[in-house]
Amino acid sequence: MPAIIAKEQSQIDTMLDKVKGKVERIMVDVMDDEFVPNTSLDFDFKFPSGFEYEAHLMVTNPLDWVRENGDKVDIVIIHIETLEDVGEAIEFVKKRGIKVSLAMRPETQVDTVLEHIKKIDGVLVMTADPGHYCEVFLSDTLDKIKKVREIDENIPIEVDGCMDPENVKLASGAGANIFATGSYIFKSEDVDKALKELRDA
């Protein structure tokens, strides 16, 4: 699944045009330069039709974003580190008819998410430090994926961070089944080839 970082509307349009008709779902990274050292989607944006959208909220006040922009997406992914009352946040999102997943930074203990697993629609495991396209793949995060899969054999487990074909194989072997990647797709000179390589992995 393509993941996009955008600082203006033209970047959204350009990136999505490259994958139009080739994928069904898009991850959009939302960053406020507080929770992570970068910004993305901090403007009045519009999403082209033809895709399902999930918003990866790397912001200090995710529920404010849901309140203002939740109607533009199908799924929101909230970092558990930003929430004081996780159960209340899950209910807040679901009441708006939006699916909700919980994400965790690489250093966050997986048990903090597992206690809420029956209330959510998915889990996102960061396999690299959030905030930028791939820097370093953190292989010790694979143990988190395994632990989530041991607890729930059906829940969607998404991974984000340095997802090239080799790392997709590793994450898939650990139990993940959704793979978000930005740099491998959008930095490729041949998007079709990049997508095929990821799918074949």
Question: Which CATH number characterizes residue 52's domain?
Answer: 3.20.20.70
Which residues have a Cβ under 8 Å from the Cβ of 86 and sit 6 or more positions away? Answer: 80, 102, 116
- Between 26 and 37, the more confident residue is 26
Q: Tell me the pLDDT tens digit for each residue of 68-111.
A: 999 999 999 999 999 999 999 999 999 999 999 999 999 999 99
What single DSSP character describes residue 185?
A: H
* Alpha carbon distance 150, 27 (integer Å): 26
Say what angle helices 165-174 and 142-151 make with each other, to 10 degrees. Answer: 40
Q: Are 185 and 195 in contact (CB under 8 A)?
A: yes
| Domain span including residue 21 | 3-200
CB count within 10 Å of CB 115 equals 11
Q: Residue 131 pLDDT more than 90?
A: no
- The two tokens of residue 26 are 């898009």
pLDDT the model gives residue 7: 94
Q: Give me the number of domains the chain comprises.
A: 1
Q: Tokens 């697993």 correspond to what residue? A: 117
